[in-house]
Amino acid sequence: MTTFGVRLRDSMREHGPLCVGIDPHPPLLRAWGLSEDASGVAKFADACVRAFAGRVALVKPQVAFFETYGSAGILVLEETIAALREAGTLVLADAKRGDIGSTMDAYAHAWLGNGPLGTDAVTVSPYLGFGSLTPALDLAKANDRGVFVLAATSNPEAVELQNITGPDGRTIAQRMVDNAAAANAGAEFGSVGVVIGATLDSAPDLSKLNGPILMPGVGAQGGGADSIRNLVPASDLGAVLPNVSREVLKAGPTVSALKDKVAELAAEFAFLQG
């Protein structure tokens, strides 16, 4: 198997740059006329799979909205991951895991292993120190999977931590990007991505990353094509994955409407692929 980074780059070239979320939160379940339980989540996820599989570069289930319903919700997540991967669509588990030692290793095996929750990539939090991610980074490399490291997130609370400047003049967010770049050194296209909020006023220097840039905050949160252009140098735009969730999902519940919205947004962000 080729590395996750190369598979993702090829998928972006074939399907466009979108990462589309599967976020069955209660207001959306109600808007779709579905029950707020695992059965409703299963119907929601099934519509998303039928709309997104084979049409977008990456699909990102938000793990928390499945965990809410306990084992029944986790079963739906397992089935959703399996259906997407069987269709040949890359899956990013939005789990934002971050811990140390054997616990981080267990998280890594859950999401980057070959068990029922195994996906192509997982989001991780480096704020126990980038080195705490080593078990996930090592397993991702061994299994040709990927990780997306939270670097400069769009929530306003993040500024008090991520913008702290160290003795070398770099912000903590920049350190996270630089560490991800070091992990990607020598790769054709790295498998360690970073998460950069599309609603930020400025972004860390991404020029040496050599890996994917996941940008949430697009659409409902106010980010868009112009904000991405302002944050990412033209030379790096080909690595950007705009993350669209609510903007697509509010078009549901029909599969055809979801497909139409994906096509509309794919055209809007086609400039990212040159």
Among 60, 96, 141, 261, the active-site one is 96
φ, ψ at 34 (rounded to 5°) = -110, 155
**Is 98 strand, coil or helix?**
coil
State phi, psi for 16 to the nearest 5 degrees. 95, 175
Q: 159 with 197: CB under 8 angstroms? A: no
Q: Distance between CA 82 and CA 59 in Å, rounded?
A: 12
Q: Where are the alpha helices (DSSP H) in the chain?
A: 4-15, 26-31, 38-52, 64-67, 70-86, 101-112, 134-142, 159-162, 172-184, 225-231, 246-249, 255-268
* Type of residue at 243: N
Cα separation, 25 vs 31, whole angstroms: 10
Structural tokens at position 235: 């030379």
- Displacement of CA 142 from its chain's centroid (Å): 20
Q: Report the phi/psi class of residue 18: left, alpha or beta, with left for phi > 0 and alpha for psi in -120 to 50.
A: beta
Tokens encoding 245? 């969730």
Residue 153 CA from chain centroid, whole number: 12
Chain-centre distance of CA 258, in angstroms? 19
Residue tagged 């599309």 (tokens): 198
Cβ contact 144:190 at 8 Å: no
Q: Please indicate whether residue 96 is annotated as part of the active site.
A: yes
DSSP state of 68: T
Task: Catalogue the active-site residues.
Answer: 96
